[in-house]
């Protein structure tokens, strides 16, 4: 019988490159930048790593289809390297592969690294007139902003939300992320904004304006995992453990059956419920202390707070406007700036989220550090569109807690 992964794997070290428009760096350079921080944090030699996982989403441009680029960039010692891709959940997939290898006993120490040189692809999330790497005009009426704008419309209709109230809550989400990002030296966007700027910004897909949408970034993030016993033998005392790793994948019901009303993410509700069960969490609103959610758009973050069973259904707007998810609120969400401001290099985002939770738990987050370090943190990735997606939920926390 499956017993889950709770406390079987701990994080030995983590690293993250600066996110942004890294025109002066190749994917290899970003891998090295993240890895050097992680290996120094872990306090080991790279020859002690037994297996590695590499995550990239758009391999045609910058990395290739195999694990070879990671092995070459880091000069890994001829160990197994597996490349994974699962849309925007790719980084968490790499983390999951490395964690399962350690938990199974197949590896003592495993590496997960995600990287994306997204700026080099020219991808902006909108259809292109000529066929390119992504989003050719064969499906011209489908774009990421358009699909998530439909999510906003469905949410409003289901819960009878006034348009102005929804816009104000979405603006608060964006202002919060920019404020948090301004305190993060590795964030892509570090400019503070105000509600007026959000509400008066150019419209991208009604009701999503410019400041409701995350940007396009380059970056890399890295985790080195091991067992609690090995971590202690290496002198690590303050252990941060994996509590749960869950993945839910759309099976077609959302896009092919009218039982789904378009106002929520079915996969997020399922994955989070499973994750809480695996982690032994009964009341996430009380037992989760920090959230890194997949805020590709401001409406996504708002709806996700309900799908993660933190806000009651239809109650996220009140929680957002009350400051529940602010950096000094009950459960901060995107305390590092999130996808919106830290950035969203697709293959790296899931690992970047875990990196922030890890730093906060160890009291190493600098200017944005919570006064009381969190005990448990949740990360959430959503890849695809509301009607067809993959959703990963990871929970990490203090070992034994």
Catalytic residue positions?
A: 88, 344
Tell me how many degrees the CA angle 304-181-173 measures, rounded to the nearest 5: 35
Q: 60: which residues sit within 8 A by CB, 6+ positions away?
A: 133
- Give the whole-angstrom CA distance, residue 173 versus residue 296: 12
Alpha-carbon dihedral of residues 58, 63, 64, 68, nearest 10 degrees? -140
- Give the whole-angstrom CA distance, residue 401 versus residue 395: 12
DSSP assignment, residue 134?
S
Strand pairing class (51-55; 109-117): parallel
Specify whether the CB–CB gap between 148 and 208 falls below 8 A.
Answer: yes
- Give the whole-angstrom CA distance, residue 157 versus residue 227: 48
What is the DSSP secondary-structure string of 291-312? EE---SBHHHHHHHHHHTTSSP
């Amino acid at each position: 019988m499956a017993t889950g992964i709770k406390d079987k794997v701990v994080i030995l070290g983590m690293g993250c490159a600066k996110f942004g428009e890294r025109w002066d760096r190749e994917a290899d350079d970003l891998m090295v930048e993240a890895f050097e921080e992680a290996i120094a944090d872990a306090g080991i030699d790279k020859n002690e790593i037994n297996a590695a996982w590499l995550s990239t989403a758009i391999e045609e441009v910058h990395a290739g289809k195999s694990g070879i680029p990671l092995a070459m960039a880091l000069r890994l010692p001829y160990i197994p390297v597996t490349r994974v891709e699962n849309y925007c959940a790719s980084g968490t997939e790499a983390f999951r592969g490395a964690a399962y290898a350690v938990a199974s006993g197949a590896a003592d120490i495993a590496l997960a690294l995600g990287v994306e040189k997204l700026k080099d692809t020219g991808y902006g999330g909108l259809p292109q007139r000529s066929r390119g790497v992504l989003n050719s005009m064969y499906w011209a009426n489908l774009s990421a902003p358009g699909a998530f704008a439909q999510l906003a419309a469905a949410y409003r209709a289901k819960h009878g939300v006034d348009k102005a109230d929804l816009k104000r809550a979405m603006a608060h989400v964006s202002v919060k992320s920019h404020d948090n990002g301004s305190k993060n030296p590795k964030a892509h966007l570090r400019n503070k904004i105000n509600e007026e700027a959000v509400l008066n910004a150019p419209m991208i897909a009604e009701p999503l304006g410019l400041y409701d949408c995350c940007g396009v970034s380059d970056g890399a993030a890295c985790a080195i995992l091991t067992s609690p016993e090995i971590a202690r033998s290496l002198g690590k005392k303050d252990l941060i453990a994996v509590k749960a790793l869950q993945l839910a994948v759309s099976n077609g019901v959302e896009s092919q059956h009218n039982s789904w009303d378009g106002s929520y993410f079915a996969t997020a509700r399922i994955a989070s419920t499973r994750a809480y069960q695996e982690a032994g969490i009964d009341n996430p609103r009380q037992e989760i202390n920090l959230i890194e959610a997949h805020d590709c758009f401001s409406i996504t973050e708002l709806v996700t707070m309900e799908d993660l069973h933190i806000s009651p259904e239809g109650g996220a707007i009140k929680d957002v406007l009350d400051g529940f998810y602010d950096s000094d609120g009950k459960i901060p969400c995107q305390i590092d700036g999130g996808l919106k401001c830290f950035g969203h290099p697709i293959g790296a985002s899931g690992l970047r989220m875990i990196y922030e939770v890890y730093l906060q738990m160890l009291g190493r987050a600098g200017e944005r550090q919570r006064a009381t370090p969190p005990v448990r943190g949740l990360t959430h990735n959503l890849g695809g569109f509301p009607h067809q997606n993959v959703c990963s939920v990871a929970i990490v926390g203090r070992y034994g807690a």
